[in-house]
A = this chain, B = another copy of it.
Amino acid sequence: MSNKKAIVLLSGGLDSATVAAIAKAEGYDVYALSFSYGQRHSVELTAASRVKDQLGLIERRTANVDLRTFGGSALTDNIDVPKDRDEDTMDSDIPVTYVPARNTIFLSFALAYAEVIGCKDIWIGVNALDYSGYPDCRPEYIAAFQAMANLATKAGVTEDDKMSIRTPLLNLTKAEIIKAGIELGVDYSLTISCYDPDPSGAACGHCDSCYLRKKGFDEAGVVDPTRYRETGD
């Protein structure tokens, strides 16, 4: 009998690699979906490709969605990525690295992919603890997307088994995510989390994403395998 299918949104970062490993460990055939969306850190797509190979995923597709059509984010515009921010600020503000409606757009594409391959489970590495500043990482948002997805699709109209949006990292700290991934054999040296890496993929070490990742390895008591840029900044 064939396995159940899972679509995993795979950015090439630490979180999504862990999600892919969790889905696989739960017995799913994993179909990875990445996005080329005009992100300045597009080198993460090569990381996604490495992760796909390391974890033995079924396939990986990259959807081209040019979010620069609208702009409005430091990740796609010529706005500086904030560096060395205060952690309290990270928690309370919606940062300029927020990309308008990004998770909604990404999950919508996953929904199309799911309908076409006959998959009911879409996995995404959102995290409510470490990224509380992003509205589309909150559990109530995910629940609302799932409800909408079941009305949007053929599945919702004609079948009993419903679409499910799976968020295994939702309430984990970064350290807990890292420990879970290591137990499942994820090689984090292959992943890139930095919002502003150099073309080789070396991390800046100072953006919010680098800060949270570093802190996660530290709190997990695991040696940080991240390759950082050797610059004076």
B-binding residues in A (CB < 8 A)? 61-67, 69-72, 94, 98-105, 108-109, 111-113, 115-117, 135-136, 138, 140-141, 144-145, 147-149, 151-154, 156-158
With a 10 A CB-CB cut-off, give which of A64, A65, A67 has the most chain B CB atoms: A65
Q: Is the interface of A mostly helix, strand, loop or mixed?
A: helix
Q: Which residues of B contact A64 (CB under 8 A)?
A: 64-66, 69
Q: Which 6 A-B pairs have the closest CB atoms?
A: A100-B115, A101-B112, A72-B116, A144-B148, A141-B151, A101-B111
- 30 examples of A-B residue contacts, CB within 8 angstroms: A61-B69, A63-B65, A64-B64, A64-B66, A64-B69, A67-B112, A70-B112, A70-B115, A70-B116, A70-B117, A72-B112, A94-B158, A99-B112, A100-B115, A101-B152, A101-B153, A102-B112, A104-B108, A104-B111, A104-B148, A105-B105, A105-B111, A135-B157, A136-B151, A136-B153, A138-B151, A141-B148, A144-B152, A147-B148, A148-B148
Whether B69 pairs with A104 at a CB distance below 8 angstroms is no
With a 10 A CB-CB cut-off, give which of A98, A99, A100 has the most chain B CB atoms: A100
- In the bound complex, what is the Cα–Cα distance between A100 and B157 (angstroms)? 13
Whether B148 pairs with A152 at a CB distance below 8 angstroms is no
Whether A149 pairs with B104 at a CB distance below 8 angstroms is yes
How far does the Cβ of A116 sit from chain B's closest Cβ, in whole Å? 4
Q: Which residues of B contact A116 (CB under 8 A)?
A: 70-72, 100
Whether A70 pairs with B113 at a CB distance below 8 angstroms is yes
- In the bound complex, what is the Cα–Cα distance between A74 and B165 (angstroms)? 27
How far does the Cβ of A200 sit from chain B's closest Cβ, in whole Å? 28
